[in-house]
Amino acid sequence: MGRERTQRLQGQAIVRRHDPDFRNFVEAVVQRGAVGNRLTPDHRIVGEVPISIAERLRYPQLSAAFRSESERSDTVCVVTAEAPSPEALRAAARTGWSIMRFSDEEGLRAIGASRRKRIPPLPSDILMPELNRLGRNRGLAVRGVDPRDVIRIPVPIYDHWSQQFGSSELVAAVRWYRSSINRFHELGISSGVAAIPASLFLHAERQGDEAAHYLRHADQVDTPTAGALAKRTADLRASWSEPAYGASRIMLEDGKLPVRVGPVAREEVAAQKFFTIDGDVTAVLLFSSRLFYVWARAMLTRSPSWSSRFSITRTFETFPLPEQFLVSSDGDGGRSSLRAPPNSRELKSLTERFDEYQLSFGDGRDRKESVNDHVRETEEVLLRMIGLTSGATDLDLLERLIEMNRTAGT
């Protein structure tokens, strides 16, 4: 229907019942398709999907059971059109099967692997139930600064600028822009880039600050246009604030698994691809543990247009912290911090050995074994806190964390 003239178009539509041939589709995916020809064509569809598993699926007709013909394995895997729920995973685990979505390339490549993996790992794509956002976690994790909200200054320019305008509030506001994770025993400011809030620069420029005028005309320094608005003011304010007394700041990379945790010095701010958390040593132990790894992996936000990502609301605010940990809201910039209670003997033992644990990375076989012992002991302590033993599978752990989330939200 045009404004100046009207044109009528006639067409015909045919509607018919959709009867997908999912088995043939999935066979092509497993053997030749989405996994990029990385599998040998020795997989065959076997029988029907058991009722105990099918009744846990929303679309059971869009599923097929595979068995590898390889002599190394007798594993049966159910491949579906949907991400399996924890209930479907448990139904499959009871029969010793695995289950995954057809787009789960990592899991599909494992079909036919050695039988030494008696317990199949969790798939990378899981349909999680509706979860509670826990008020206790609010302000604990903060995303790094948006690069559009800061002005980054190379070291050579910074050195001359800071010496010339040392009394300016802009120089006093400088933080070092950290875009990589260090190990704890390598802690040091080595980013080579200084940063100041763009909003502070614009304010100083309006006040006639000579330091701002210098940056405006400096080479290799991108400055915002007058009137530009900050993109993520809350993250900027939280990143520029200092940790509360007795706490330090750690960082972990968005979507990166296994989780790797590193320190953020008080003179630094983290780049946007990181999340930062304040707390004592127990924050490092918890967020580098299997508890958070299993949770973060199950809660990944996935999209075909970008890599897997964590989320403040989905990953961190739903994560059920063990009750033995304390969360204090005494930080600036709306930040909270995670602490160990003063009367926890188990956590105290782990924190007292923390420096030795971090410093022993890569320093010989004996030290590596010491690290592994500390990791195992940490995992056992954390699992006991949530009512599990060291023999708990990742599925046991995920189910327990889901239960804790629901209980904490009531």
User: Within its chain, how far is the Cα of 377 from the centroid?
Assistant: 24
Residues 6+ apart with CB under 8 A from 39: 30, 31, 108, 109, 111, 112
The answer to whether 41 and 70 are in contact (CB under 8 A) is: no
**Number of Cβ atoms within 10 Å of the Cβ of 20:** 11
Give the side-chain half-sphere CA count within 13 A for 380.
Answer: 10
pTM: 0.85
3-state secondary structure of 115: coil
Q: Which single residue is written with the structure tokens 């994790």?
A: 141
Q: How far apart are CA 102 and CA 370, in angstroms?
A: 40
Q: What is the chain's pLDDT, residue by residue, as a tens digit (410 residues)?
A: 456 667 778 889 999 887 778 888 887 777 654 444 444 445 567 778 999 999 999 999 999 888 765 545 567 889 999 999 999 999 999 988 889 998 887 777 766 554 445 566 789 899 999 999 999 999 999 999 999 999 999 999 999 999 999 999 999 999 999 998 877 656 555 567 999 999 999 999 999 999 999 999 998 899 988 777 778 889 999 999 999 888 999 999 999 988 989 999 889 999 999 999 999 999 999 999 999 999 999 998 766 556 678 999 999 999 999 999 999 987 788 899 999 988 888 888 888 877 766 655 444 555 456 567 778 889 999 999 999 999 999 999 999 999 999 998 66
Give the side-chain half-sphere CA count within 13 A for 57.
Answer: 23
The answer to whether 68 and 75 are in contact (CB under 8 A) is: yes
Q: How far apart are CA 32 and CA 47, in angstroms?
A: 21
